[in-house]
Structure 1
Amino acid sequence: MVEVTVTPQSSLADRAGQKKLADRPVQVRVKGLSPSQLVTVRTWLKDEQGERFQARAFFRADATGEVDPTLHAALGGSYSGVWPMGLFWFLQPDSLFRRLVKRVRLELFNGLQLGTDPAEQPLGSCQAERWYVGPGVQRVPVREGRVRGALFLPPGPGPFPGVIDLFGGAGGLIEFRAGLLASRGFAVLALAFFAYDDLPRALTQLDLEYFEEAAELLLRHPKVRGPGLGVVGVSKGAEVALAMATFLPQVVATVWINGTAYLHGNPLVYKDVRIPPIPYCTEHVTFTEVGALDNSRIFADPRDPAYRASAIPVEKIRGKVLFVVGEADRSFNSKLFAQLALERMPPQSGRILSYPGAGHLIEPPGSPLCSNSSIRGAPRPVAWGGELEPHAKAQEDSWREIVQFLELQLGLTATMKL
C-alpha cells in the first residue's frame, strides 16, 4: 500500500498543542512503491482568494520503494537535486502576479505528471498546515494615538525584547513576519504607516515622529523589555528603518532588507529636520517579458552630488545594522545603497549579507519566490526579480542570520516549545 506522509502532520501537531511554523522544515516521505518506480510528487494549495499554487518533482523510488526528498534528488519538475523543502519553496501560482500562502496538499502520481488532469487520481495524498503564529501567541490590535497596527506577544509573563516590523510601498498592514518573530520570543509590533484604517491613503511624506510614537508605545508595554528595541524593514520599510536607526535612540538593532539609504519620492520630516527626496525618474521604467514594471532604472544615481542632501545621515547611527541584499533585485540596486550607507556609518556598526540570484522580496524560509506581483497604486504588476534556487537558499540563510542578530543585539528571547 502506497503511503504519503508529512511530518509533523497538522492534525497530529494540533493534538499535541504544537503548530508547525512556516519557517520550520517538515519531512515528506513516500513508502510502498516498487523499487525504481518513477513517480510525480505534487504539492498544491489555494489561497484566500481561491488562487492555486503548485509545485511538482519527479523521483525514482529507492531499492526499498521509498522516496525521501531529504536524501533523494528530484530528477526534474519545479526543481532538480536534493532540496528537502523544495516542494514547498518552489510553489508557483497558476496565474501570474500572485503571492501566497498556508495549507498545502501533497499528492503522489505514478510516472510523470506534467499537467493537471482532474480525472487522474493520485496514488496517495496527505495535508500539511504551515502556521505563521505559534501556540499561545497573542495578537492585539493597536489603535492608540496616531499609531495603527497589530502587536504580537509571545506566551508567558515576559518581558520580551521588542521589535517593530515594517513593509514597503504597498501600504496596509502585513503581519506574517511579525507572527513568526513573536513565535521566536519577540514582542513584535506590525506597524502600518499608510493605506490602513484612518491613516493617509497615499504616502506623501515620512513623518518620523509617527514612528517615534510607535517606538515609545511599544516600549511602554509591560511585557516589552527596554531600553532599546529592534526594527525590521523591507523596501520602503527598510528606508524608514534606517532613518529610525539614525534619529531615534531607542532603536539599537536594525534589519534592512533591500532598501535604500536615501529619501526617494517622499521627504522625511522630523522636528526641525527635513530631508528632501530624490525624485523618481518614471520615464525610465521598462516592461518585462511578461508585462510587469521593471523599476530598477527609475532611481537616479545617488552618488550624483546634486542628491547629497537626500542622504539619510547614517553617520549618526549608534546601534547595529544588518543589511540583507538580493543581488538580482529588479526594484533597485540594493547592494549599492547598502555599500554607500556602510561607508558613512561608524566603524563596526553594520555588515552586509549579499545573495547572488536573490530578488527583492526576501522573506522567511518556506515562502515561495515572488518575482512579480500586483501592488496597491501600481498600474501594472511590479517585477521584483530573483531566481528560484538561489532565492530559496537566501531566504533560509538570511532568516537564521536575522533571528540571531536580533537575539544578540536585544538579548536572548525566552525559549518556546514549537
Structure 2
Amino acid sequence: MKVNIYNAESLVDDKIKVIVSGLIPNSKLRVSMKMEFPWCKGEEFSSYGVFYSNEKGEVDLDSIEPVEGTYKTTDCMGLIYSLKKSKTEGENFAENISIDKPIIMNMIFESDIERKEVKLKRLFKTEDIITKDISDEFIGKLFYKQNSSNKTILVLGGSDGNLDALELMAAPLASRGFNVLAVAYFALEGLPSKLEEVPLEYFEKIFKWISEDEITNTKEIFVHGTSKGGELALLLASRYKQIKKVVVSQPHAYCFQALDGQMNGKDTSSWSYKGKPLPYIKVDNNIFFEDQKKDIEKGIPFGFASTYKKSIERADNKEEARIKVENSEADILMISGKEDNIWNSYDGCVEIIEKLKRNNYQYNVELLTYDKMGHPLPIPYIVPLSETLSMNMAGGIFSSGGTVKGNAKGQFESWKRTIEFYKEPLSIDIKK
C-alpha cells in the first residue's frame, strides 16, 4: 500500500488530497483520523470512511464516496469537517487558544493485509509571521510579514468577545501577505464589560493607529466582521470613509439591542457615539421563549432567528435603526447561510442589497449565499462543525442552523472568495 498525501504540512484552511495505491483491486480500505487541539490535550476528535479500491487498486478520496463513515460525499476534507468528539476530559477547547503549535492529525489506513499511519501537520501561520501586541490606546494584536503588502485588514469578532479565537483566522490571513489587526472591543480590562453601548470613538483611535504605524501605514482600511462583528463592520463602513473593503460573515442590516449572554441584555443599544446610544431594534425575549417551547414540543431544533425576524417586524423604528450601508465608500462582500438559526442574516443581506440598488451604490457589492449553511465560523477546517452546529439546551436541541456538509461547503468556498476579494484592486481604482 502506497499513501500519497498532498499538503500533508500546510495551513489549517488548505485542502489536502489523498490517493492510496498498491491495493488489491476491489478491496476494502478503512481510513480514520484522530485529532487533538495542541492547547487542549485530552479532548480527542475522530472520523472515518470505508472505501473500495478500483480495478487499478487505487482509492482517490476526492473521487469516491465512502460506503460507510462519518460523512457521505466525494470530498477528502470530509474526514476533517466530520470530526466528532470521541474522548473527553471535560476541558473547554475554546479556552487558552494558542496558534503557536500546529494541529497534528493522525491518519490511519487499514486494508485487509496492511496498516499505515501518516501525520498531517496543520499550521496556523507560516514561519515568517511576526506578531505585535497592542494595549495602549486599544487592545489588539497585529500579524504581519517583514515584506507584506500595504493592505491592512481589521478583524472584528462576534458576541463572544474572545480575542484569542480571532487569532485562528487572523494568522492564516496574514500568511497570505496581509497585515491583519485583530481587536477586542468589549469583555477585557479597560473596555466595556458587556456588548452594550460600545463607543464608536474607540475605533477612531484604531483607524488613526493604522494610518500612523510604521508597519501598516495606510489610510485605506479593510475590515472583516463576523456575526455581531458584521453588524459593527457595516456600521463603521457607513460612517468612516477610510474603510474601502468590507467582508461580513452572517451580518445583519440593523443595529440591535445590547447583548449579555443569550438574549439577555440591557434595554439599550449595542453601540454608542459621543455618549449617546445609537438607534436600535429591541429584541423581545418573550418571542424566543414562546418559539423555543413550540420547537421543543415539535421535536425540532430551536434558535434565535425567528426572534430577530419577529422583533424587526414589530419594530416601529426600523428605518432609524437600519445601518445606512449606502453611505459607505467601500467594496462589500456579504456571506450568509439561508438556514442561519442565530439570526435571520440572509433576510438582512437581501435588504441591504435592495437598498444599495435603490441608491445606485457605485462600489462593488457581492452576496454569497448557501442553501444548507447556518451560522458557522468564517474559516474552515479548524473547529469541528459537530461542536458548533448543535447542543443540548433547556430540554431541547439548540442549533446554529444548516447541515455539516452544507456548512463545510459554505465555509470553504466563502473563505476562498474572501482571500481573493481582499487581493483584488478597489473598484473605484478600476473605474478611474
Higher-RCO chain (CA-CA 8 Å, sequence separation at least 6): 1
Post-superposition offset of 1:293: 5.9
State how 1:203-352 maps to structure 2 within 5 Å.
203-266=195-258, 267=269, 268-271=271-274, 274-285=277-288, 286=292, 294-299=303-308, 300-304=310-314, 306-308=316-318, 309-345=320-356, 346=359, 347-349=361-363, 350-352=365-367
Q: Which residue number in structure 1 is paired with residue 31 of structure 2?
A: 41
Residues 89 and 175 from structure 1, CA distance in 2 versus in 1: closer, same or farther, beyond 3 angstroms?
Answer: same
Aligned equivalents of 2:79 and 2:155: distance in 1?
28
The alpha-carbon distance between structure 1 residues 365 and 194, as it changes in their structure 2 partners (threshold 3 A), is: same
Structure holding more helix per residue: 2
CA change 1:99–1:264 in 2 (3 A) is farther
Residues 1:401 and 2:417 are matched in the alignment: yes
Amino acid at match of 1:332: W
**Deviation by residue 1:301-342 (Cα, 9 ceiling, x = unmatched):** 425551322212223112121110111111011111112222
Describe the SS at the equivalent of 2:139. strand
Report the count of equivalent residues.
Answer: 388
Q: Is the 8 A contact 2:284 2:311 kept in 1?
A: no
TM-aligned CA distance change 1:92 to 1:215, over 3 Å: farther
Shift of 1:133: 0.9
Q: Using the TM superposition, name which of 90-99 and 329-338 deviates more.
A: 90-99
Q: Secondary structure at the match of 1:185?
A: coil
Partner in structure 1 of residue 13 of structure 2: 23
CA distance in 2, matches of 1:403, 1:386: 24
Name structure 2 gaps, 5 residues minimum: 95-101, 259-268, 428-432
Match of 2:390 in 1: 372
Residue 356 of structure 1 aligns to which amino acid in structure 2? D
Taking only the aligned residue pairs, the percentage that are identical comes to: 25
Give the residue type in structure 2 aligned to 1:236: K
Quick check: 354-363 or 291-300, which moved more? 291-300
Q: Provide Cα deviations, 1:137-169, integer angstroms capped at 9, x if missing partner.
A: 111111121x1111100232x452011111111
Do 2:389 and 2:404's aligned partners in 1 also have CA atoms closer than 8 Å?
A: no
Shift of the alpha carbon at 1:22? 1.3
Alignment CA distance shift 1:197-1:56 (3 Å): farther
Distance 1:315 1:95 in 2: 49
Which range is displaced more, 32-41 or 339-348?
Answer: 339-348
Report whether the alignment pairs 1:385 with 2:401.
Answer: yes
Worse-superposed segment, 385-394 or 284-293 = 284-293
SS of the aligned residue for 1:51 comes to strand
Shift of 1:122: 8.1
Amino acid at match of 2:8: Q
Give the TM-score normalised by the residue count of structure 2. Answer: 0.81
For residue 153 of structure 1, what is the amino acid of its counterpart? Y
Report the RMSD for the aligned CA atoms in angstroms.
3.1
Query: What is the SS of the residue equivalent to 2:11?
Result: coil
- Residues 271 and 95 from structure 1, CA distance in 2 versus in 1: closer, same or farther, beyond 3 angstroms? farther
8 Å CA contact 1:41–1:56 kept in 2: the answer is yes
1:279 shift after superposition:
2.1
Whether contact under 8 Å (2:250, 2:335) holds in the other structure is: yes
Helix, strand or coil: the match of 2:340? Answer: coil
Q: Is contact 2:225–2:249 with CA below 8 Å preserved after alignment?
A: yes
- Secondary structure (helix, strand or coil) at the match of 1:306 reads coil
